[in-house]
Amino acid sequence: MPLQVVVTRDFKHMSEVAAETVKKNIIQTLRKQKEFVLGLATGSSPTGLYKHLAKAVNAGEFDSTRIRSFNLDEYVGLPGENAQQRVMHPESYCYFMIREFFGLLTKKFVETSVPYGSLIDQKQLMREFKAHPEDWREVGTDAGRSIVIKAKSASEYLAWVRKAILDGYARKIKKAGGIDLQIIGVGGRGHVAFHESGIPFKGSKVMLVKLDDNTVANAVADGHFPSKKESPRYAVTMGAELVYEAKTVILLASGERKVGPVAESLLGDPTPDVPISYGQKYAEKGGNMVYVVDKIVGQELIANKKGLKQKGMTIKDLS
């Protein structure tokens, strides 16, 4: 299936076009199967889309009680004395989803799931890493690293993290039948969720990721956390390998910061340096990959329309 790029006028138009695409997919799929499994992202990119989808649900355009959702990622190490406080911290992705989407629905989804990062005690995790260095290793070529925990760990806590937190989330998605449609945004260096630049594609189902110092510093600079001490150092995330197992993937991108990563992901070869470039491999294998971008991001793609066409991609300019 060819990778499709849709260029829209601005954020508002991008949100409308993406929401219509998602809505049609849900309605068509629910005619054929009992439930729809929807993959969700956080960040500013999907917020407009979520408002449109909530309006469609509340207007009765499709049955939200037949939808099961899975989010891409969640922090480890949010401030709080226990898991309940951490999951309801205003910077948790669970809190974000309630505020931006779930709380807007008059009829709730049958079930919503966010990776179980809030169950991990970051201080204990770091103590276990120090006490059992033979149980884990860091993987990646850049500052953000995937923490690979051995299948048979001497540390009971690390064994629990691998089995219950990481593998457990992947199992839950599989048990639901896999994701029908996954919504994703774009990180500043082309990362998807917390699958950061340089983390290999292979073995990237659900990962524990050590955040690079730049990510932590930016979280403080952007006002999400008062200091580095209170900013999470780890996250649990779906990796590219799992994200692109969905039947359809819709990528949203708007604004100057996204121009470079989006162009690299389509005009260059697939590389872990730009994790969203995995979308090329996904489309080649028959996946339904759709980029919905604003005209700022789309300018460079339109200028290289010939190159995209040579790679079997299509571009639709609605701007």
DSSP assignment string, 22-63:
HHHHHHHHHTTSS-EEEEE--SSTTHHHHHHHHHHHHTTSS-
What pLDDT is recorded for position 144? 87
Backbone angles phi, psi at 155, to 5 degrees: -80, 120
What pLDDT is recorded for position 230? 85
Provide CATH code, domain 4-317: 3.40.50.1360
What pLDDT is recorded for position 221? 82
Q: Residue 204 and residue 72: Cα distance in Å, rounded?
A: 12
Sequence-separated (6 or more) residues with CB below 8 Å from residue 218: none
Q: Are strands 234-238 and 206-210 parallel, antiparallel or unpaired?
A: antiparallel
DSSP assignment string, the chain:
---EEEEESSHHHHHHHHHHHHHHHHHHHHTTSS-EEEEE--SSTTHHHHHHHHHHHHTTSS-GGGEEEEESEEEES-SSSSHHHHHTSTTSHHHHHHHHTGGG-SS--SEEE--SGGGS-HHHHHHHHHH-GGGEEEE-SSSSEEEEEPSS-S-HHHHHIIIIIIHHHHHHHHHTT--SEEEE---TTS-BTTB-TT--STT-SEEEEEPPHHHHHHHHHTTSSSSGGGS-SEEEEE-HHHHTTSSEEEEEE-SGGGHHHHHHHHHS--BTTBGGGHHHHHHHTT-EEEEEEEHHHHHHHHHTHHHHHHTT-EEEE--
CA 51 to chain centre: 18
Determine if the pTM surpasses 0.85: yes
What pLDDT is recorded for position 118? 96
Count of residues for the chain?
319
Classify residue 11 by burial, with Cβ atoms within 10 Å: 0-12, 13-18, 19+: middle
Q: Residue 215 and residue 129: Cα distance in Å, rounded?
A: 21
Q: Residue 257 and residue 255: Cα distance in Å, rounded?
A: 6
Question: Which of 91, 60, 62 lies closest to 74, judged by CA?
Answer: 91
pLDDT tens for the chain, residues 1 to 319: 789 999 999 999 999 999 999 999 999 999 999 999 999 999 999 999 999 999 999 999 999 999 999 999 999 999 999 999 999 999 999 999 999 999 999 999 999 999 999 999 999 999 999 999 999 999 999 888 999 999 999 999 999 999 999 999 999 999 999 999 999 999 878 999 999 999 999 988 999 999 888 778 878 887 888 988 889 999 999 999 999 999 999 999 999 999 999 999 999 999 999 999 999 999 999 999 999 999 999 999 999 999 999 999 999 999 9
Q: Residue 187 and residue 265: Cα distance in Å, rounded?
A: 12
Torsion of CA 275, 233, 75, 166, to 10 degrees: 70
What pLDDT is recorded for position 214? 74
Strand partners, 250: 183, 290
